[in-house]
Amino acid sequence: MNTGNWQWDTFFEAFPLILEGLGITLGLTVATYLFALIFGFVWTLLSAVRIKPLRWLFRWIMEFIRSTPPLVQLFFIFFAWPMVPVVGFAMSPFISAIIGLGVHFSTYIGEVYRSGIEAVDKGQWEAARALNFSTGHKWSKIIIPQAIPPTIPMLGNYLIIMFKEIPLASTIGVAGILNLANSYGAANFRYLEPLTIVAILFLVLSYPSAILINKLERKMNRRFDKKEPTGSKSLSEEEKEGAVS
Amino acid sequence: MTESIVSYKDVHKSFGDTEVLTGINLDIKPAEKVAVIGPSGSGKTTIIRMLMTLEEPTSGNIIVDGSNLWHMEKNGQLVPANEKHLRQVRGDIGMVFQHFNLFPHMTILDNCMSAPVHVQKVDKKEAKQLSIEMLEKVGLGDKLDSYPSQLSGGQKQRVAMARALVMRPKVMLFDEVTSALDPELVGEVLEVIRDIAKEGEMAMVLVTHEMEFARDIADRVLFLDNGVIAEQGPPADVLENSTNERLQSFLHRFRS
Ligand SMILES: Nc1ncnc2c1ncn2[C@@H]1O[C@H](COP(=O)(O)OP(=O)(O)O)[C@@H](O)[C@H]1O
Ligand SMILES: [Mg+2]
């Protein structure tokens, strides 16, 4: 068994095999992220409920999920949840990974939303009230369009952080790139090249994303220093479009 | 005698342990212009915020056009109002804030249009037409597509007025609407308020430190002090001929 020197043959043989897992890895990333974005909103709502003991309970649960390792949560969902009487049931590795990692990261996303909402000036709420907006319109027309855009860079950061945790899914058998590299390694007794490929793929994907998010962040900062439009479509624009069609 | 459009009946307001308003009784007639003056911290803002439903009175009642604002009837009993009831009654009230509170993510036109469209369900074309007319009236017909950040303080405040006016409230509240402005911009805003006042039919409550302006525009001036209306009457009586010492020393600070 030769473990030391680099072999290009192995590299080129392993590369296409491992690349096949890229779709799964990326698909899992996107699905988990979407799950976290949506479920994060649920946390934002739950941690703002009026009834104090409930609010404390929800915040405590959030804190608990955040301070437990995602790997443990993943194992729990995949191995322990099906054993729970009455409510428990088994899920595929892919679905388990979406839920396990998605719930974990949703607690962070929920905090991001909350910080964005809290940053909206008190006067905006009061103006919405003075103009007699319904609760729904207050949120959809006034608060959310101001609360979310400044948090986009933060949300982007969590996407990258989450992307780097996605290989955890290989531990429950999701056939992503790490899992395939591992199998290749086990079958051929060579780990150097396949794992290098995994590292390269992650670097190639997350480094440009990080740069992109950095740029986005600077752009957002500039925009919000000047308090300029936040990109939501305006009423009169909608109308102009309506008039054209 | 005409019915009041707004009545405060023994309204009290405390923040924590401090009672800021200790029994406000006030009737405002339709189309009446009321100026509220008084030392800083005397509760002027609180009085009108309770009418705008931004603060809830600790006790007492506020009646708006015959409806109890903060209470509603349920099985023959008065219970605290829910949001639905508040929305119904609040529709008669409009407010202009000291710090404008324009929506920064909307154009000037959308700032004015959004409430008519979403709240009053006015047809979009009509709402746009009304908003443009109102913005022209406050002298901003050429700024429709600008964003609030691109305007001066005086212009922002005029947009805020157009935004409130386009809802056609029966009572309009002004909370020191010129005190956040650079001195040279105060005039243009007061001018617009004068125009609105001249049009007549709407009642106006103006918290202000502009004594000259209060004298010109108001039918009645209230002097708020120690949590009560300490003095009230026609502008000349309150601003010139009162014997109330606290009022005199308060007014003294505005004469130079
Ligand atoms: N939300 C609040 N919480 C606590 N105290 C308040 C609040 N709003 C106003 N006050 C207090 O109530 C008093 C009256 O305030 P305000 O109505 O703003 O006075 P004015 O407008 O006459 O200056 C002040 O002492 C102020 O500190
Ligand atoms: Mg005040």
Contact B115 A234 (CB under 8 A): no
Q: What is the pLDDT of residues A192-227, one digit of tens each?
A: 999 999 999 999 988 888 888 888 888 877 765 544
Residue-level pLDDT at A231:
45
B230: domain CATH number? 3.40.50.300
In angstroms, what is the span from residue B138 Cα to ligand 2's centroid? 24
**How does residue A119 score in pLDDT terms, banded at 50, 70 and 90?**
very high
**How does residue A242 score in pLDDT terms, banded at 50, 70 and 90?**
very low
By the CB < 8 Å criterion, does B163 face chain A?
A: yes
Minimum-distance CB partner of B119 among A131, A227, A236: A131
Residue B28 lies in a domain: yes
| Maximum pairwise Cα distance, chain B | 59
E-strand spans in B138-194? 171-175
By the CB < 8 Å criterion, does B106 face chain A?
A: yes
In angstroms, what is the span from residue B100 Cα to ligand 1's centroid? 19
Domain that holds residue B57: 6-101+174-252
Contact B149 A226 (CB under 8 A): yes
Ligand 1 pocket mutation, candidates B11, B13, B15, B98, criterion most atoms within 8 A of CB: B15
Residue-level pLDDT at A226:
44
The whole-angstrom separation of Cα B149 and Cα B159 is: 12
The whole-angstrom separation of Cα B171 and Cα B33 is: 10
pLDDT digit string (tens) for chain B, length 256 residues:
568 999 999 999 999 999 999 999 999 999 999 999 999 999 999 999 999 999 999 999 999 999 999 999 999 899 999 999 999 999 999 999 999 999 999 999 999 999 999 999 999 999 999 999 999 999 999 999 999 999 999 999 999 999 999 999 999 999 999 999 999 999 999 999 999 999 878 999 999 999 999 999 999 999 999 999 999 999 999 999 889 999 999 998 887 6
Nearest CA to ligand 1 atom 13: B41
Is there a contact between A172 and A96 (Cβ–Cβ < 8 Å)? yes
Residue-level pLDDT at A224:
59
Residue-level pLDDT at B51:
97
The whole-angstrom separation of Cα A177 and Cα B253 is: 77
Minimal Cα distance from A232: which residue of B?
B105
By the CB < 8 Å criterion, does A127 face chain B?
A: yes
Say how many domains are in chain B: 1
- Taking one residue from A and the other from B, the number of pairs with CB-CB distance under 8 angstroms is 89
Query: How close does chain A come to B212, measured CA to CA in Å?
Result: 28
Q: Give residue for tokens 């047809």.
A: B123
Query: How close does chain A come to B40, measured CA to CA in Å?
Result: 20
By the CB < 8 Å criterion, does B38 face chain A?
A: no
Exposure string (b/e) for B230-242, b if CB count within 10 Å is 16 or more? bbbeebeebbeeb
Pick the atom of ligand 1 nearest to B46's CA. 17
Residue B160 lies in a domain: no
Residue B111 lies in a domain: no
Domains of chain A: 8-242 (1.10.3720.10)
* Tally of CA atoms within 13 A in the half-sphere of B83 that contains its CB: 7
Q: What is the pLDDT of residues A22-47, one digit of tens each?
A: 999 999 999 999 999 999 999 999 99
Residue B125 lies in a domain: no
Question: Choosing among B118, B146, B149, which should be mutated to test the A contact, i.e. which has the most A CBs within 10 A?
Answer: B118
Identify the helix (H) or strand (E) that includes residue B158.
Answer: helix B153-165
Residue B92 lies in a domain: yes
Structure tokens at B1: 């005698």
Minimum-distance CB partner of B87 among A132, A228, A230: A132
In angstroms, what is the span from residue B40 Cα to ligand 1's centroid? 9
By the CB < 8 Å criterion, does A234 face chain B?
A: yes
Residue B21 lies in a domain: yes
A187 has pLDDT over 50: yes
Return the minimum-mean-pLDDT range out of A74-78, A180-184, A188-192, A219-223: A219-223
By the CB < 8 Å criterion, does B110 face chain A?
A: yes
A185 has pLDDT over 80: yes
Residue B159 lies in a domain: no
Contact A227 B125 (CB under 8 A): no
